[in-house]
Structure formats: structure tokens, C-alpha cells
Amino acid sequence: MRTLYITWDGPGTNYLESLFLPIFQELQRRGTSRFSIQQYAWESESRSASVAAAAVNAQMRYRVRDVGWRPQSLVAGGMMLAGGLGVAHVARRDRIDVLMPRSIIPAAMSLVAVRFLRDVKLLYDADGLKADERADFGGWRRDGKMYRLFRRIENAAVARADGIVTRTRHSRDILAERSHNPSAILAKTTVTSNGKNSALFTIGDKQARARTRKSIGVSENAPLVVYAGSLGAQYFPERMVAFFERLLRVRPDTHVLWLTGTPGVARSLIAQRPLLQDACTIKSVSPGDVPALLASADLGLAFRARCLSQQAVAPIKVGEYLLCGVPVFGSAGIGDLDSQIDNSVGFLTAVLTDEALDAAVHWFLDEVLRQRERFRARCRAVGLEHFSLERSADQYQAAFQELQASACPNSVSR
């Protein structure tokens, strides 16, 4: 089976290289499918060399197409049609069996392409609710033209797809409820996780963690809190700072490590806060440096705004924290985290009030630090259960097996 994965990525995102390539490489190793990748991207020249090298290493064919900087509506409309014809051409030439578009614009391209491709299956990777995310955070109106267009494409892709993968059970259920045939949508949907390599994201040993702490100027016994990720408003950076300040008042030796691609934003957050000036290290590092830095920490933060679109996301950082033995302080109501995170590995709160931050401070100091090794072992176990690369590959493999079964006239679907 040959699969063409089609993705549309905005500036600064690196999910293809850091998340999907390792999963696809594992599926190739298992003989599930062979993958080719077609990426539409901003900043294609600056990023394509790194992704291309990773794809070659993973034995996958990779192509990138530049999106350009035209108005979004022109980009989307033109690329949907032109991209669909291009996808059909590539699929014919490479004898593709499965089109796997990630999210809405690639889904539109694939809906055009399958009109010209007999017997090619459509596996829709509904990674989030993108139209709703734009409405929640990007200024779109839910009665506006672009939102309604994207929702129509989403509904068409869900209805036409031979299989669907989502990141959460909530996302699966929302897509089913929006359809004309909910039971059929549920039957052809597989929930997959954003798994990471558990051999790379690991707890390490005491000596390795001590060396990493020394490299960033943190003593072995000081509480170390980490945040990994971007710093948009939906991640509540101001509430992170409020938490750090509360923690420092009780434990002045606490250190905070920011791992972010926008270090300037982090610096501006602490610029007028003297208590944090000497307590923070802000770094922008390569992906290979992240696991050791995470493993050296005692707590990881994962705040997000609670809204419709966030029911469909599976925060990558949470899996990375847990695999590295790091408990999580995060927002409740995000994806499926409420069923995956209990008080043996994390502290989830529905609201980031001052009272909730104070409660998290006491939980961290009175429970986590006093039983650090027990928390470390439990976090690792939960990480392996829900967020490992092997777990993700198992789930994707099940989705491909359903496609194969549906292609056989004598097979019985689930």
C-alpha cells in the first residue's frame, strides 16, 4: 500500500519533521504502508532542507510547494483547485493507493483529486477542528464566509472519506454529531495520539539530569519548572508568570526554564518582574536537545484556553513531559486529558484563578517534590500508555487495516 500524505503548514510549525515522520517511519518498518509527502508551506525555502533531509533518512519521497504571501482567501481558493489537480497527477504517477490529507485545505485538494482517481482510498486526518480554532483564536466569525466554507469542506471530507483519524474522542464525537449519519462516521473513525519516541524522551538517570541542570545553572536540589512551546495568548503566559511568582515566594530557590521558539516574548513577560529576573532561563533549542532538558525538570506547564476547538487537540508537550517523568500542571477540558491525567501524574484545573494557582503550588511542593521518584515512575508509565510512538503507530496501523478490509469485497467492516 502506498500513501500520499498532504499537509498545509503555517509559518514556524515543524510538526511534520518532529511528529509525523517518526510515526510514518515506524509504519513503514512494520510494512503497513509506504509514504510520500506533499507539503504546502510558508517559508518553504528556509524549512524544506531540514525536512527533506529527515524524509530521505526515513526513506520517504518529499515535495514542498510554496504558498506565498497573497491574501488568505486567494491562497486557499487557488490552492484547493490547483493543488487538487497536482495531487491527482502525483498520485497517478506514483501509483498511490491512499490519499491522507491533514486538515481542511489538503482535504479540499483531495476531494478534487479523488474525482480523477479510481480505487484510491481517502483517509482524512482530521487533526483538530481548524475552522473552529480560527473562530476561537483567529478572529473568524462563525457566520462569516471563510468559516462556513471551511466547515462545508470539513463536512464533505468526513462524509466522503473511507476512513478518518482524529486526535481525541471528543473530536470524533463532534464530527459525527455534525454529520448526517453519525453512526457511519463513528464506525470509520480511529482515535490516534501524538506519540513521541520513548527511547529519546526518557527519564535518563540521576547523573545525566544533574549534568543537564548544571549546564543551565540550576542546582541539583532546586525545584525546576519547565514550559515548552509557543507563547500565544491562548496559552495564558501571564498566568504562567503569576504561578512562577507564587512559587518563588514559598521556594526562592525555584528555577524556571522556558523552551520556546519565541524567546523575545518570554523576555518581555519577565522584564518588569524583578522576582523572576534571576530565576528564569530562556532558551530556543534544537529538537534533539529537548528531551534531556525536560527530564531534568520537576514540573511541566500546559495551560490552554477552554473552548470548542481545544476539545479536539492532543497537546504534544504533555506526552513529552510524561515520557520524561515530569508531572503536569495544566488546564482541564482540553482534548482527552481529563481521562488521561489524574493526581498521580498531574494537576488539572478548569480555571486559572489565583486560588487554583495557590493550590497547584502546594500540590507541587507538598506532594510532587516530597515523592519525586514515585511521581517520576508513574509519569513515565502513563506516558508509555498514552503517548508513545508505539502507541500512535498501533492506532494508525488499525486505521490502515480498516481501509484494507473495506477494499476487499468479502471483508466485514467493524
Asked if residue 172 and residue 216 are part of one domain, the reply reads: no
pLDDT in tens, 66-114: 776 554 554 566 778 888 999 999 999 999 999 999 999 999 999 999 9
User: 144 lies in a domain?
Assistant: yes
Q: How many domains does the chain have?
A: 2
Grid coordinates representing 236 are 495564558
- Asked if residue 412 is part of any domain, the answer here is no
Please state whether beta strands 255-259 and 224-228 pair in parallel, antiparallel, or not at all (unpaired).
parallel
Average pLDDT for 405-412: 54
Residues 371 and 396 in one domain: no
For 153, other C-beta atoms within 10 Å of its C-beta total 21
In a domain, 329, yes or no: yes
Q: Please, is 38 exposed, middle or buried when counting C-beta atoms within 10 Å of its C-beta (0-12, 13-18, 19+)? A: buried
Same domain for 291 and 184: no
Choose between 413 and 35: higher pLDDT: 35
Please check whether residues 29 and 165 belong to one and the same domain. Answer: yes
Domain shared by 217 and 288, yes or no: yes
Record the cell numbers describing residue 308, joined without a space: 470548542
Residue 414 lies inside a defined structural domain of this protein = no
Q: Could you tell me the pLDDT band of residue 43, with boundaries at 50, 70 and 90?
A: low
Q: Per-residue pLDDT for 53 more than 50?
A: yes
In a domain, 323, yes or no: yes
Check pLDDT > 80 for residue 45.
no
Which parts of 5-113 fold into alpha helices (H)? Answer: 15, 21-30, 44-57, 72-93, 104-113
Mean pLDDT of 194-214: 96
Give the model's pLDDT for residue 11: 56
Name the nearest CA neighbour of 104 among 157, 142, 148: 157
C-alpha to C-alpha distance for 315 and 334, rounded to whole angstroms? 8
Residues 222 and 142 in one domain: no
Are 376 and 394 in the same domain? no
Answer whether residue 246 is part of any domain. Answer: yes
Is residue 147 pLDDT above 60, yes or no?
Answer: yes
Provide the mean pLDDT of the chain: 92
Range of the domain at 260: 206-387
Pair 150, 241 in one domain: no
pLDDT at 18: 86
Q: What's the start-to-end Cα distance of the chain, in Å?
A: 21
In angstroms, the CA 194 to CA 5 distance is 16
Query: Is 324 a residue whose pLDDT tops 70?
Result: yes
Q: What is the pLDDT of residue 52?
A: 86
244: domain CATH number? 3.40.50.2000
Q: Are residues 84 and 188 in the same domain?
A: yes
Please provide the DSSP assignment of 348-365 as one string. Answer: EESS--HHHHHHHHHHII
Sheet holding 2-9, edge to edge: 61-66, 34-41, 2-9, 98-101, 121-126, 163-166, 189-191
Mean pLDDT of 161-183: 97
Give the pLDDT band of residue 302 (cuts 50, 70, 90): very high
Domain-located, residue 200: no
Asked whether residue 308 falls in the same domain as residue 402, the answer is no
Query: Which residues are CB-neighbours of 151 under 8 A, at least 6 positions away?
Result: 131
Instruction: Tell whether 398 is covered by a domain.
Output: yes
Q: Are residues 243 and 213 in the same domain?
A: yes
Quick one: 226 and 269 in the same domain?
Answer: yes
